[in-house]
Structure 1
Amino acid sequence: MKSRVLAAAAAVLILGGCASTGRLLSYGVELSDALLRMGHAQFSIYVHPKDDTLLIQRRVMQTSNYDGQELIRIAAAQFLEPVDCTVTEVRLIAPGGWEAGFACPAGVDLRALVQQQRAALQTGAPLHP
């Protein structure tokens, strides 16, 4: 496990540069919090431990020339919609790594919901309130 994390970090350093590497690593070194399927596309979703942001990456062997900002916005919205959270902004932070800001209504703790449902979310199940 540690070797995979180190290899991923090395790849990010080479591909993304130091500034974006720091932002990517701020999400932690664990496996993704959720798998999101949209048709044939599959995305890994990571919830930032402190900031109201998601890291969204196309799954391995799923790269596409169509991974633009609008597709990532749609993926983030699909993930957040069941708990009435919304996407606030989307930006590319590294090659293949997009960050989406989110806002949730009062009383919705996205991090707690994701933590409670993480095992199911990692299999592609939708988030539940």
Structure 2
Amino acid sequence: MRTYVLIFGAIALVASPTQAKTHSMFAYSGPRYPVMLNGGKYIVEVHKSDNTILMQGALGSGTGSADTPISVWRRVAEQFVTPAGCGIPRVEAIMKDGGTWEATVMCPEGVDFHQLVNEQKAALKRGEPLQPSPASK
């Protein structure tokens, strides 16, 4: 009987939504981009294939605690992508206690979010927001 309980518990843990969200964090392995908002520093990472970004408070900056409201995370995401004409239709906590949030990025038709990020890596690392492609101006 104990074997069945252990197996059921292991399946429940692997199948839980929190576990799935935590696993999705591993798809964020690219560069980390700083975003300044109201004097606080946040870090944004771009998902390697999805149009999503991961956001956390920068270590030692005092930002991104469990008390940080979703509206702040939305503003961080918007500050990163809005200048390029992209929007944020969804913001969701991955690990609220750890201050880790994910936002979906939606760009206009014909705008490749990942291409914009790749073209602007140096500027993004300096904390500049994502800009429209020169061809779309």
Q: Same fold (TM over 0.5)?
A: yes
TM-score of the two chains, using structure 1 as the length reference: 0.77
Asked whether 1:31 is paired with 2:26, we answer no
> Bigger relative contact order, structure 1 or 2, given CA contacts below 8 A and separation 6+?
1
Kindly, what percent of the aligned residue pairs are identical?
Answer: 32
Letter in 2 for 1:99: E
Correspondences of 1:36-115 after superposition (within 5 Å) = 36-64=35-63, 65=65, 66-94=67-95, 95-115=98-118
- What residue ranges of structure 1 are gaps of 5+ in the alignment? 1-16
Contact 1:83 1:108 in 2 (8 A): no
SS of match in other structure, 1:88 = strand
Asked whether 1:22 is paired with 2:23, we answer yes
Q: Which runs of 4+ in 1 moved over 6 A?
A: none
Aligned residues: 111
Alpha-carbon separation, structure 2, partners of 1:67 and 1:31:
24
Asked whether 1:116 is paired with 2:119, we answer yes
TM-score of the two chains, using structure 2 as the length reference: 0.73
Backbone CA RMSD of aligned residues:
1.7
Shift of 1:80: 1.1
